[in-house]
């Protein structure tokens, strides 16, 4: 994203790249599934039972946290990719709409000019060399 004065612009490819990178991080979080195989064996006495329960509770909490993290990363990844697609669509649709409006405007001006040949020519957009049609 860049900002110049009051204008802000987003590069859809960079937004998509960020979405893909976050998606890759989500896949890297898969290692937490190994936590399911952790079964503490601290003994069959009071402190051992307490320790077994503590470790199991912490394992389950960490496992849930990792599930939540992975789900969140995947959602962020998908949303960024969706945003990139929407940026591209908006740019394309706006460009097509502006071209259509410009053609209608030029047609109207030319029609008026044909009715009154003394009217000046319609100006072109900012990309033109001389500024006239």
- The kind and range of the H/E element at 10 are none
* pLDDT of 111: 77
pTM of the predicted structure, to 2 decimals: 0.63
Domain count across the chain: 1
**Is residue 26 within 8 Å of residue 77, measured between CB atoms?**
yes
* pLDDT of 129: 53
Where residue 94 falls among pLDDT bands split at 50, 70, 90? confident
The partner residues of 66 in beta bridges, in order of sequence, read none
- CATH code (residue 62): 1.10.287
Q: Decide if pLDDT at 85 tops 70.
A: yes
Domain around 88? 10-115
Where residue 50 falls among pLDDT bands split at 50, 70, 90? very high
* pLDDT of 122: 58
Tell me the two tokens of residue 43.
Answer: 């003994």
Residue 129 lies in a domain: no
Residue 120 lies in a domain: no
Task: For the chain, give the number of residues.
Answer: 133
Residue 53 lies in a domain: yes
Residue 74 burial by CB count (10 A; 0-12/13-18/19+): exposed, middle or buried? Answer: middle
Cα(26)–Cα(30) distance, integer angstroms: 7
Residue 121 lies in a domain: no
pLDDT single digits (tens) 2-37: 656 666 677 899 999 999 999 999 988 877 777 777
């Amino acid at each position: 994203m860049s900002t110049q004065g009051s204008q802000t612009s987003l590069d859809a490819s960079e937004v998509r790249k960020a979405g893909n990178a976050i998606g890759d991080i989500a896949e890297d979080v898969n290692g937490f599934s190994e936590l399911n195989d952790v079964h503490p064996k601290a003994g069959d006495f009071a402190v051992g039972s307490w320790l077994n329960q503590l470790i199991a509770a912490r394992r389950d909490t960490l496992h849930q946290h990792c599930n939540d993290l992975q789900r969140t990363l995947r959602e962020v990844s998908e949303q960024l990719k969706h945003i990139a697609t929407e940026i591209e669509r908006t740019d394309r649709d706006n460009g097509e709409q502006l071209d259509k409006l410009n053609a209608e405007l030029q047609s109207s001006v030319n029609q008026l000019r044909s009715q009154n040949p003394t009217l000046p020519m319609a100006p072109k957009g900012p990309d033109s060399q001389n500024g006239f049609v």
